[in-house]
Amino acid sequence: MSERISTRYANAVVSRSKLVVVLVLALTAVIAAGAVVGDPAEDDGEQFDVDSPETEALETIDEQYATDEEVITQIVVRSENGDVLTRDSLLESLRLQQEMYENESITATLSEDGAVGIENSVGTSAVFEDRAAETAGEHDTSSPTIDEQIDALESRSEAAVTELVEGVLDPERESAGVDPVSYLPATYEPGSAEAESRITFVVHTAEDRAGDDASGVSDAQLEIESLFEERFDDGFVFGEGITDAASASAIGDSFAIITPVALVLVLSVLAVTYRDLVDILIGLLGIGVVMAWVSGIQGWLEIPMDSMLLAVPFLLIGLSIDYSLHVVMRYREARSGAVTDRDGESPDESRRSPRAGMAVGLAGVVLALAAATVSTGVGFLSNALSPLPTIQNFALLSAGGILATFVAFGVFVPALKVEVDGFLEHRFDRNRAKAPFGIGTGIVNRALSNVVRLVRRAPVAVILVAFVLAAGGAYGATGLDTEFNQTDFLPADAPDWTKSLPGPLAPDTYTVSDDVAYLGEHFQERGPDSQAQLLLEGNVTDPATLVALERASRNSSTDSTIDVSADGTAVTDGPHTVLRTLAAENETVAAALADRDTNGNNLPNRDVAGLYDVVYDVDPEQAASVLSRTETGEYESARVIVSVRSDAPAQDIATDMSRFGGEIADGAPVTAVATGGQVTTAVIQDALLETLVPAFTVTVIVILAFLTILYWVRHRAISLGVVTLAPVVAALAWLLGAMALLDVPFNTETVVMTSLAIGLGVDYSIHMSERFIAERRQHSSIDETLSAAIVGTGGALLGSAATTAGGFGVLALALSPPLQRFGIVTGLSIVFAFVACLVVLPCLLVARERFLTGRQ
Q: Which of 332-336, 376-380, 464-468, 795-799 has the highest mean pLDDT?
A: 464-468
Q: What is the pLDDT of residue 710?
A: 86
> What percent of the chain has pLDDT above 90?
37
Q: Is 703 exposed, middle or buried (0-12, 13-18, 19+ CB in 10 A)?
A: buried
Q: What is the mean pLDDT of residues 405-417?
A: 96
Between the alpha carbon of residue 213 and those of residues 206, 238, 794, the distances in Å are: 11, 21, 56
Annotate 601-612 with three-state secondary structure: CCCCCCCHHHHH
Q: Closest Cα to residue 335, out of 447, 446, 444, 439?
A: 439
The sign of the dihedral angle between the CA atoms of 763, 768, 771, 772 is negative
Between the alpha carbon of residue 785 and those of residues 135, 372, 442, 773, 850, the distances in Å are: 105, 22, 21, 8, 13
Domain that holds residue 122: 71-244
Q: What is the mean pLDDT of residues 657-665?
A: 92
CA 817 to the chain's CA centroid? 9
Q: Give the helix/strand (H/E) hosting 672.
A: strand 670-675
Task: Decide if 184 contacts 198 (C-beta within 8 A).
Answer: yes
Question: Bigger pLDDT: 49 or 24?
Answer: 24
Instruction: Round to the nearest angstrom and report the end-to-end CA distance of the chain.
Output: 31
Residue 63 pLDDT > 60, yes or no?
A: yes
The answer to whether residues 390 and 470 belong to one domain is yes
pLDDT in tens, 668-715: 999 999 998 888 888 877 777 777 677 777 778 888 888 899 889 888
Q: What is the pLDDT of residue 344?
A: 47
Q: What is the pLDDT of residue 588?
A: 93
Q: How many CA atoms lie within 13 A of 756 on its CB side?
A: 36
- Cα distance between residue 642 and residue 654, in whole Å: 12
Q: Which residues of 522-590 form beta strands (DSSP E)? A: 531-538, 572-573
3-state secondary structure of 675: strand
Q: Closest Cα to residue 10, out of 406, 367, 426, 374?
A: 367
What contacts 841, CB < 8 A, 6 or more positions away? 723, 724, 726, 727, 765, 768, 769
The answer to whether residues 732 and 788 belong to one domain is yes
Q: What is the pLDDT of residue 348?
A: 46
Among 643, 668, 693, the domain boundary falls at: 668
pLDDT in tens, 5-26: 889 999 999 999 999 999 999 9
Q: Is 818 within a domain?
A: yes
State the average pLDDT for the chain.
84
- Cα distance between residue 60 and residue 88, in whole Å: 48
pLDDT in tens, 501-527: 665 666 667 788 888 888 888 887 776
Q: Which 8-state DSSP code applies to residue 506?
A: P
The answer to whether residues 119 and 233 belong to one domain is yes
**Plot region of 438 (φ>0 → left; ψ -120 to 50 → alpha; else → beta):** left
Q: How many CA atoms lie within 13 A of 512 on its CB side?
A: 27
The answer to whether residues 80 and 40 belong to one domain is no
- Cα distance between residue 288 and residue 658, in whole Å: 50
Q: Is 425 within a domain?
A: yes
Confidence of residue 214 (pLDDT cuts 50, 70, 90): very low
The answer to whether residues 91 and 208 belong to one domain is yes
Number of compact structural domains in the chain: 3
pLDDT in tens, 765-818: 998 998 898 888 888 888 889 988 898 888 888 888 888 888 778 877 777 787
Q: What is the pLDDT of residue 820?
A: 81
Q: What is the pLDDT of residue 137?
A: 66
3-state secondary structure of 703: helix
Task: Decide if 570 contacts 553 (C-beta within 8 A).
Answer: yes
The answer to whether residues 464 and 564 belong to one domain is no
Q: Is 419 exposed, middle or buried (0-12, 13-18, 19+ CB in 10 A)?
A: middle
pLDDT in tens, 727-742: 999 999 999 999 999 8
Q: Is 128 within a domain?
A: yes
Task: Decide if 501 contacts 815 (C-beta within 8 A).
Answer: no
pLDDT in tens, 263-276: 788 788 888 888 88
Question: Bigger pLDDT: 338 or 189?
Answer: 189
Q: What is the pLDDT of residue 513?
A: 84
Q: What is the pLDDT of residue 207?
A: 60
Q: What is the pLDDT of residue 49?
A: 61
The answer to whether residues 121 and 230 belong to one domain is yes
pLDDT in tens, 158-168: 999 999 999 88
Among 617, 643, 668, the domain boundary falls at: 668
Q: Is 514 within a domain?
A: no
Q: Is 65 within a domain?
A: no
Q: What is the pLDDT of residue 558?
A: 66
Q: Give the angle subtended at the CA of 219 by the CAs of 217 and 223, to the nearest 5°.
A: 115
> What percent of the chain has pLDDT above 70?
88
- Cα distance between residue 502 and residue 500, in whole Å: 7
Question: Bigger pLDDT: 512 or 152?
Answer: 152
Q: Is 230 within a domain?
A: yes
Q: Closest Cα to residue 182, out of 172, 203, 163, 168?
A: 168
Q: What is the mean pLDDT of residues 157-186?
A: 84
Q: Is 373 within a domain?
A: yes
Q: What is the pLDDT of residue 211?
A: 46
Question: Bigger pLDDT: 292 or 585?
Answer: 292
Confidence of residue 640 (pLDDT cuts 50, 70, 90): very high
CATH of the domain at 476: 1.20.1640.10
Q: Which 8-state DSSP code applies to residue 46?
A: G
Q: Which of 112-121, 209-218, 314-323 has the highest mean pLDDT?
A: 112-121
Annotate 69-86 with three-state secondary structure: CCEEEEEEEECCCCCCCC
Q: Is 588 within a domain?
A: yes
The answer to whether residues 80 and 10 belong to one domain is no
Q: Which residues of 286-306 are buried (b: 16+ CB within 10 A; e: fewer)?
A: bbebbbbbbbbbbbbeebbee
Residue 724 pLDDT > 70, yes or no?
A: yes
Confidence of residue 753 (pLDDT cuts 50, 70, 90): low
3-state secondary structure of 831: helix
Q: What is the pLDDT of residue 612?
A: 93
The answer to whether residues 208 and 345 belong to one domain is no
The answer to whether residues 640 and 702 belong to one domain is no
Q: Closest Cα to residue 365, out of 454, 262, 436?
A: 436
Q: Are strands 197-204 and 71-78 parallel, antiparallel or unpaired?
A: antiparallel
- Cα distance between residue 334 and residue 793, in whole Å: 13
Residue 149 pLDDT > 50, yes or no?
A: yes
Length of the chain: 856
The answer to whether residues 631 and 746 belong to one domain is no
Residue 479 pLDDT > 50, yes or no?
A: yes
The answer to whether residues 319 and 414 belong to one domain is yes
pLDDT in tens, 338-368: 544 444 444 444 345 889 999 999 998 998 8
User: Phi, psi (5° rounding) for residue 388?
Assistant: -90, 125
Question: Helices 389-407 and 311-336: crossing angle, nearest 10°?
Answer: 20
Q: What is the pLDDT of residue 347?
A: 45
